[in-house]
Amino acid sequence: MKKTLTAFSLGLLTSISSFQAMATQADDISVSDPFAREVPPGAPASASFMTLDNMSDQAIKLVQATSEASKIVELHVHTNDNGVMRMRKVEFIEIPANGQTVLNPGGFHIMLINPVTLLKVGQTVSVQLQFEDGSTKQVDMPVKSVKNRMGNMNNGMDHKMKHDMSGHMH
């Protein structure tokens, strides 16, 4: 009986290590400075931001994100359309080979639509990132106040919220 168990454990260990030898895309991505934007209770949307570094020789696509903080989570980008800040959903966010993609206010972001948990400074939010190969990475991030750091974010945020509301009214 003991022998069988040992053999089983060894087999398991072998399969785990051979699995780890094949690095997943999630393993090749390093996340730094993640944070979510503080919003008042009942706000239609918030967003999360972070820096993604790709340590592999191949471009990696972030294809989806989920969070317990929000049922609808979308990958978004801001564009400056003749001075009007707009945002739209994107199918993926690419991190170049051996390169970096920064998600920040005014650029790429992970939109948390109709958040169900309180997004207040001092709270922590978890977002799961999913990459093209199906591998996932959990990112725990603090909630920060963005408007204090960027004076003109209020206007931009009004735009965002209107956009989101109209985008989800069907």
Rule CB under 5 A: which residues touch Cu ion? Answer: 76, 87, 111
In whole angstroms, the minimum distance from the beta carbon of 109 to Cu ion comes to 5
Give the residue with the Cβ less far from Cu ion, 26 or 119.
119
Helix spans in the chain (H): 2-21, 25-28, 153-167
In whole angstroms, the minimum distance from the beta carbon of 110 to Cu ion comes to 8
Q: CB 52: neighbour CB atoms within 10 A? A: 23
Q: CB 74: neighbour CB atoms within 10 A? A: 21
**Token pair recorded at residue 160:** 């965002």
In whole angstroms, the minimum distance from the beta carbon of 47 to Cu ion comes to 6
